Amino acid sequence: MAQLTDLEIQALRDQLGAAFTGATKEQIAQRIKTISGTPDAQTMFMANGLFSNYGLDSAVVNASLSPKGIDRAIPAIGTVETDPIFAFVTGIDQSSGDEPDGVCDDAPSGVLEVCHQTAAWGRFTRSSKEMEVNTLMQVMNGRLSTDIQLLGNVLGDGHQFLPGQMQEGGSWITSIVRTQLVTAGQLLQHLLSRKLWNGDPANNSAGGGYKEFPGLEILVNAGKVDINTGNACSALDPDIKDWDYALADTTSKDIVQYFTYVTRWVKHVAGRTGLDPVTWAWVMRPELFAELVEIWPCHYMTSRCSNMSGDNVVVINDMNNINMQTEMRNGNYLLIDGIRWPVLLDDGITEEDSTTSGDLDAGQFASDAYLLPFNIMDGRPVLYWEYMDYSRAMTDISFLQGRQFWQTDAGRFMWAMQQNNYCFKFQAKVEPRIILRTPQLAGRIKHIAYEPLQHMRSPFQDSPYRQKGGEEAFSTAPSFFVDW
């Protein structure tokens, strides 16, 4: 296929040059793979465009929810290591020998036990729709409102793995190319905010085009084994407790006691292994936190306050109860053993309902609460992302002069463009994984049920609590009388 002239790629270069920071003309004009030649990208101000309505107000208000989670609170590190090995000292045991009888007899000796762990990559890709270069700047006529501005942010807090150019202000909505970027970015955001928790390599595609890293549901679970021998390494197991689908406010057991003993357990391990100080946070769904705050003061202030017959003898001051609820809700923490333990909210944590679990009735839900270590000792991160650093490959392919692939965001993303004459599309690839170096300092309470009056709206496409609406195009084609 012949190289495009400068005039032919000018409009494309102007828009893509702004969208892809630092992209060269060769990067923009590359052609890798023949595409259909039938553009299907949504247009803005042409006939049938999203904003081709006459009299349209310039302010466009966002009503699309974005997921909120801990993904941006976790640092990300670039690497090219495919199979890292992490070693842990799990114990020192006496191996052989008896206590000495004589003063010069040999004493018993000991051995060091070590366990090895590893991590696996995920591989996720998203692409744009197909665009035609000469439609990027077209406007039906000069009477349309083209100075529209988006109020709000469809990406919300964003995600650790969102290309930087996808997180710009609301002006992107006037550009076909940037709209495609933001659309692909939100798809990645929604996907990865859940895979952080439920990622499972068992879901990998046979051909390797799609891979999932082990998410926190796997990492914060019992049954750790050595990667070389398969031997159990119980010293690395986090503290796992099962609430067994009981409602959080049940009187048959005490939810505060469960949370309390998880925190005591991890603090005990951290102190005895010399890893203090540790930065921890409880992480849970916002629906679960809302229910816990409601019941926490009564459980916390009456724990074990009963007489010989088992009757509770504590009288709770109503304002103390309300004040404690308000402070925990506004401060995002749970009071445990007199310490304010931070609570981070995450929409991506798996939630069950009566359609997915026979242990729940209609209107009931269940999810897990995680106690995660973020830093130890001198601030060393022990929960972090790693990503395949594509910038390391640029030297090896420099002779291509950017005509095949290019990377952005310090190597997080690899981009490729497909082109058929004047039609083009682009695709991004990212390969992340989540690392938990100290699983023995983590905890989890599984299957906590709750029955709220109303479930919150969801940003995820497959959720019954997602709300959307409207159209994907508007029929505003001119109906002129013409002489041709």
**Which domains does the chain carry?**
25-74+121-213+385-432 (no CATH), 237-383+435-450 (3.30.2320.10)
Which amino acid would we find at residue 232? A
* Residue 430 main-chain phi, psi, to 5 deg: -140, 140
- Is residue 209 over pLDDT 50? yes
Residue partners of 140: CB distance under 8 A and separation at least 6: 45, 46, 47, 49, 52, 476, 478
Neighbours of 128 (CB within 10 A): 20
Q: Which residues face 381 on adjacent strands?
A: 375
Asked if residues 437 and 382 have their Cβ atoms less than 8 Å apart, the reply is yes
For 12-26, 411-425, 469-483, which range has the lowest pLDDT when averaged over its residues? 12-26
Of the segments 1-5, 10-14, 336-340, 413-417, which one has the largest average pLDDT value?
336-340
Query: Regarding beta strands 149-151 and 59-61, do their DSSP bridges make them parallel or antiparallel, or are they unpaired?
Result: parallel
Q: How far apart are CA 297 and CA 316, in angstroms?
A: 9
User: What pTM value is reported for the model?
Assistant: 0.85
Exposure string over 325-341, b if 16+ CB within 10 A, otherwise e: beebbeeebbbbeeeeb
More confident of the two residues 14 and 358? 358
For 313-317, 367-371, 409-413, which range has the lowest pLDDT when averaged over its residues? 313-317
**Percent with pLDDT over 70 in the chain:** 86
What are 459-473's pLDDT values in tens digits? 888 888 888 887 777
Asked if residues 70 and 344 have their Cβ atoms less than 8 Å apart, the reply is yes
pLDDT band for position 399 (cuts 50, 70, 90): low
More confident of the two residues 292 and 158? 292
Gyration radius of the chain's alpha carbons: 28
- pLDDT computed for residue 314 by the predictor: 59
Which amino acid would we find at residue 196? L
- Is residue 61 over pLDDT 80? yes
More confident of the two residues 58 and 265? 265
More confident of the two residues 97 and 459? 459
Q: How far apart are CA 384 and CA 324, in angstroms?
A: 33
* Residue 461 main-chain phi, psi, to 5 deg: -60, -35
Residue partners of 181: CB distance under 8 A and separation at least 6: 19, 128, 163, 165, 166, 172
What are 225-252's pLDDT values in tens digits? 999 999 999 999 999 999 999 999 998 9
DSSP result, 9-57? HHHHHHHHHHHSTT--HHHHT---S---S---PPPSSSTT-TT--TT--
- In the three-class reduction of DSSP (H, G, I as helix; E, B as strand; rest coil), residue 411 is classed as coil
What are 353-368's pLDDT values in tens digits? 999 999 999 999 999 9
- pLDDT computed for residue 230 by the predictor: 95
